[in-house]
Amino acid sequence: MKSVRVSEALRSRWARLALGLAAAGACAVAFAAGSAKPPTSDVVQVRLGGDASETRIVIDLKRAASGRIDAGGQGGRLGVTLKGVGAGTGLQGRGRGLVRAWTVASAGDGARLDLEVTRGATVERRFLIPPADGVANYRYVIDIAAGPGKAPPDGASTRLAAVAAAMTPDAAPLGPTPAHLRKIIVIDPGHGGRDPGAAGAASHEKDVTLAAAQALKARLERTGRYQVVMTRTSDVFIPLEERVQIARRAGADLFLSLHADSGADPSTHGASVYTLSDRGTARVGYVLTRNEWFLQPAASGGDRSVSQILLDLSQRSTRNHSAAFARTLIQRVGDRAPLLERSRRDADYFVLLAPDVPAALLEMGFITNPDDEARLNDPEARAALTGKIADAIDAYFGAQTRLAVR
């Protein structure tokens, strides 16, 4: 029975991937069609949430749109023009938080949102969220904040960023992301149990990776935006193939394996990030089960070549996402820890083989280097490093939906 449930979960995940690839093509078509004459009205509704410190405005749209800020808000008004969007006869409504009232009307080749705001309020960020997770419309999101001298309380920005997809008209003050909307992050502390990994002068790799993973888990969970799954939570041995399957069964949005490097030369130091190499993609069969639907000819009308094309497309998409995360991770980690001279690398490591989960392996430093080892074992330095890793995860998922920026 358990194998049946796993098979069904995998079929569901691959179906979502295939639909996602189709949706990506549809999204590109929607952008290309932006210059065509829009229908009578593309604005479905306008929703507001927040308080007098920060307020979020969400415009539900039938089509993709880019926006332009037309006023700074210092005079008590703020305008945003959405190009290529029809406003029909227009909309208007009461405000909330920093917004006293709002109107939407046609303006040239687009629609204009006019906001009557508290004097000094400014735009903090803007982005477009495409249809996803059962939501049929595009959502253009605008966050505004109180002016100088009216700084929002700690955590206000985090609360706003967490609920873009969950807002409802006239929503109550914002809170953490609902559990079913949280991104699933799988953290893999390298080695463990009978496999100690590399050894330094006073520590083993399996211990420093577990300590870092626990610190990162706590840091991510405090945001309320993520569901974190650990491949191990104690000093136990977990086979490599099981670590991959944990991520796949969890439906992970991202897999991060934490390690500490080693070398014969104790002067070698610095962090590096690995993603899957070309050679590694050919080893995908090692992590697939006999029940994977795309390997069964009947699932594609008897044509195995169609199944292989779907697998290749999924692998390509996964590798692109992995590379994007790796670039961001290197940038953020480099702010806090020294980097290896060639810090961006690829390999056919087993834990990176999942064809449907973006994955990266972070070597946090060389445990055989005295300075790196001291940093890996220092709680304060560890907290700073995992904070930067968490920042990279935030930036990675933010970039996935930020199609229109300030």
Judgement on whether residues 228 and 299 belong to the same structural domain of the protein: yes
Lowest mean pLDDT among 30-44, 120-134, 275-289, 361-375: 30-44
Judgement on whether residues 258 and 169 belong to the same structural domain of the protein: no
Judgement on whether residues 213 and 172 belong to the same structural domain of the protein: no
Q: Is the pLDDT of residue 34 over 50?
A: no
Beta partners for residue 111, in sequence order: 82, 106
Highest mean pLDDT among 51-60, 92-101, 174-183, 257-266: 257-266
Q: How far apart are CA 129 and CA 139, in angstroms?
A: 5
User: Average pLDDT for residues 61-80, to the nearest whole number?
Assistant: 76
Judgement on whether residues 206 and 355 belong to the same structural domain of the protein: yes
Domain boundary at 176, 206, 241, which?
176
Judgement on whether residues 96 and 167 belong to the same structural domain of the protein: yes
- The distance from CA 355 to its chain's CA centroid, rounded to whole angstroms, is 18
DSSP letter string, 338-382? -EEEEEEEEE--GGG--TTS-EEEEEEEETTSHHHHHHHH-HHHH
Residue 12 in domain: no
Enclosing domain of residue 257: 182-401
DSSP 246: H
Query: Quick one: pLDDT at residue 89?
Result: 83
User: Average pLDDT for residues 338-345, to the nearest whole number?
Assistant: 89
CATH of the domain at 50: 2.60.40.3500
Lowest mean pLDDT among 146-155, 157-166, 169-178, 233-242: 157-166
Q: In 62-121, which ranges are E strands?
A: 66-69, 77-83, 91-96, 99-107, 110-117
One-letter amino acid identity for 142? I
Q: Which two tokens mark 256?
A: 């991060």
Burial of 369 (0-12, 13-18, 19+ CB in 10 A): buried
Judgement on whether residues 279 and 167 belong to the same structural domain of the protein: no
Select the more confidently predicted residue: 170 or 11. Answer: 11
Judgement on whether residues 92 and 122 belong to the same structural domain of the protein: yes
Q: Is the pLDDT of residue 231 over 70?
A: yes
CATH of the domain at 338: 3.40.630.40
Judgement on whether residues 247 and 187 belong to the same structural domain of the protein: yes
165, 159 Cβ separation under 8 angstroms: no
Query: Quick one: pLDDT at residue 86?
Result: 86
Residue 315 in domain: yes
Residue 7 in domain: no
Q: Which two tokens mark 299?
A: 């699932």
Q: How far apart are CA 149 and CA 166, in angstroms?
A: 30
Residues 6+ apart with CB under 8 A from 71: 77, 78, 79
pLDDT band at 177 (very low <50, low <70, confident <90, very high): low
Domain boundary at 132, 153, 176, which?
176
Query: Quick one: pLDDT at residue 319?
Result: 84
Residue 146 in domain: yes
Residue 62 in domain: yes
Q: Is the pLDDT of residue 201 over 90?
A: yes
- The distance from CA 267 to its chain's CA centroid, rounded to whole angstroms, is 35
One-letter amino acid identity for 140? Y
User: Average pLDDT for residues 314-330, to the nearest whole number?
Assistant: 86
pLDDT band at 77 (very low <50, low <70, confident <90, very high): confident
pTM comes to 0.56
Select the more confidently predicted residue: 65 or 383. Answer: 383
72, 95 Cβ separation under 8 angstroms: no
- State the total domains in the chain: 2
Domain boundary at 176, 202, 234, which?
176
Residue 11 in domain: no
Judgement on whether residues 390 and 264 belong to the same structural domain of the protein: yes
Residue 267 in domain: yes
Q: What is the pLDDT of residues 255-309, one digit of tens each?
A: 999 999 999 999 999 999 999 887 767 777 676 765 554 444 444 444 555 556 6
Q: How far apart are CA 398 and CA 160, in angstroms?
A: 13
Q: Is the pLDDT of residue 406 over 50?
A: no
Q: Radius of gyration (Cα) for the chain, nearest Å?
A: 24
Q: How far apart are CA 1 and CA 403, in angstroms?
A: 43
Judgement on whether residues 336 and 386 belong to the same structural domain of the protein: yes
Judgement on whether residues 50 and 130 belong to the same structural domain of the protein: yes
pLDDT band at 213 (very low <50, low <70, confident <90, very high): very high
Query: Quick one: pLDDT at residue 134?
Result: 58
183, 397 Cβ separation under 8 angstroms: yes
Query: Quick one: pLDDT at residue 160?
Result: 39
